[in-house]
């Protein structure tokens, strides 16, 4: 245990004396998260809705359902999806797919929506024609449910909601006109004197007295509503730049390995009764501490600096603290494994710094650090699954935004831990 402690102490002393390395590990990600979050927040306010796939199921199979489907299908920004993996959608499938983030939104039109809406229109028109004051609250038909991914951006959620509302209002207007002419036709066919009375009554009706909203659109987040946290730029950027900072330990870690090889430090240590595992554990624990400090720094910025100094949304982490700890541990270990791998295969410090930094930036770009995954082309989305930073940020977003625990992120955790084990195994075989 004493040998392990001295190895940890040695690594920490080397880091403390490396001021440029500390600046890369702490100051660079700190500046990046502040500048990029401010820029993205301003950009998001003026961003229009992007082309997006929306799940759609129509239980109504009548006028309202047909008109809503037709109206949304003509939009250049919305693609309606009615099947998933060659199977018809169900309500539970839509809830699950949207809650998991595979789709950003889903629309469910309930059964008998058109029939219920027609009955309400007829009832309201009869009340108006009879000149009876109806003091009851105007209750809309709950005919359309709009489900959102908990991680959807506010600007995209508002854009989709407005599009559905506009199409819904158009469908209502069409239905009101159809019902009104149908009722008039029935009256004209049966009684001419009644027709005149109805027309006189209609002339007395103001436009604002006509039924306003017949079919209500219920908007909600999919998943466990009690644990859903309102998503924001902060929710994405704090874990994103925490991971970005963690993987930049490749520069000091790889540099430490190269210095020990070139200066003969490693050979001198091996002459002592110290195992390679002990040396490896010393480096791992020392850099684990650094990674946790980086995460805490980013969290501090998200919780305190953003809302109080920069007027940005505050970071809401939920209450799955153990899951956050495990996700941070797995992400940190994968970053350490990457650093050991680069340090093992690099010959000089400059080579490790250049190669490691370039790889980190590429993995960050593919992993959704600078651009959310859902905004990428499909081919890039598939490639991004190979990035350890993608595994890490997905784990954090499931915890922060969807209120998920370990049971939902275990696959990503296995990938991160597996990446560490494989990297350390390769490094040990070559370096040891």
- What mean pLDDT comes out for the span 74-85? 84
Q: Which sign, positive or negative, has the C-alpha torsion 238, 240, 246, 248?
A: negative
Q: Which two tokens stand for residue 300?
A: 């501090």
Q: Which DSSP state fits 151?
A: T
Task: Check whether 405 has a pLDDT greater than 70.
Answer: yes
Q: 109-131: per-residue pLDDT in tens?
A: 988 888 888 888 777 766 665 55
Contact 417, 247 (CB under 8 A): no
- Dihedral Cα 295, 297, 300, 306, nearest 10 deg: -100
More confident position, 413 or 159: 413
Please give the average per-residue pLDDT across 100-107, as a whole number: 86
pLDDT at 274: 63
Domains and CATH numbers, the chain: 2-43+230-431 (no CATH), 52-221 (3.40.1710)
> Is 105 within 8 Å of 77 (Cβ atoms)?
no
pLDDT at 46: 47
Q: What does pLDDT average to over the chain?
A: 78
Region 99-116: mean pLDDT is: 86
Query: How much is the pLDDT for 355?
Result: 86
Q: What phi, psi does 397 have (nearest 5°)?
A: -65, -35
pLDDT tens for 260-308 read 777 666 666 666 666 666 777 888 888 999 999 999 999 999 899 888 8
Mean pLDDT is lowest, of 95-109, 138-152, 345-359, for 138-152
């Amino acid at each position: 245990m004493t040998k392990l402690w001295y190895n940890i102490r040695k690594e920490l002393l080397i880091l403390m004396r490396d001021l440029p390395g500390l600046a890369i590990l702490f100051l660079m990600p700190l500046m990046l998260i502040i500048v990029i979050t401010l820029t993205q927040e301003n950009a998001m306010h003026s961003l229009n809705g992007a082309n997006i796939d929306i799940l759609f199921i129509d239980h109504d199979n009548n006028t309202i359902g047909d008109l809503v489907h037709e109206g949304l299908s003509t939009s250049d920004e919305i693609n309606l999806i009615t099947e998933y993996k060659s199977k018809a959608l169900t309500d539970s499938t839509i809830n699950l797919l949207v809650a998991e983030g595979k789709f950003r939104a889903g629309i469910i039109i309930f059964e008998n929506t058109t029939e219920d809406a027609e009955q309400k229109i007829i009832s309201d028109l009869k009340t108006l024609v009879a000149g009876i004051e109806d003091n009851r609250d105007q209750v809309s038909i709950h005919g359309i449910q709009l489900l959102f991914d908990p991680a959807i951006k506010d600007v995209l959620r508002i854009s989709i909601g407005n599009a559905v509302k506009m199409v819904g209002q158009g469908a209502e207007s069409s239905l009101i006109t159809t019902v009104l002419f149908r009722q008039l036709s029935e009256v004209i066919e049966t009684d001419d004197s009644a027709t005149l009375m109805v027309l006189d009554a209609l002339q007395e009706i103001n436009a604002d007295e006509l039924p306003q909203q017949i079919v209500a659109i219920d908007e909600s987040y999919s998943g466990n509503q009690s644990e859903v946290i309102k998503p924001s730029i902060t929710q994405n950027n704090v874990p994103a730049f925490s991971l970005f900072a963690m993987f930049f330990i490749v520069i000091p870690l790889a540099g430490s390995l190269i210095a020990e090889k070139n200066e003969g430090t490693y050979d001198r240590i091996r002459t002592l009764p110290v195992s390679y595992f002990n040396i490896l554990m010393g480096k791992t624990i020392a850099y684990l501490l650094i990674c946790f400090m980086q995460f805490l720094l980013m969290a501090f910025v998200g919780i305190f600096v953003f809302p109080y100094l920069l007027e940005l949304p505050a970071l809401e982490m939920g209450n799955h603290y153990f899951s956050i700890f495990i996700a941070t541990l797995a992400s940190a270990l994968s970053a350490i494994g990457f650093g050991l791998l680069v340090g093992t295969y690099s010959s000089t410090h400059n080579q490790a710094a250049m190669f490691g930094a370039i790889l980190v930036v590429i993995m960050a770009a593919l992993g959704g650090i600078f651009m959310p995954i859902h905004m990428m082309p499909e081919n890039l989305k598939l490639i991004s699954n190979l990035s350890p930073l993608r595994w890490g940020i997905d784990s954090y977003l499931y915890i922060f935004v969807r209120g998920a625990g370990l049971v939902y992120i275990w696959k990503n955790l296995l990938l991160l831990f597996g990446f560490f084990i494989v990297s350390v195994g390769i490094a040990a075989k070559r370096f040891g």
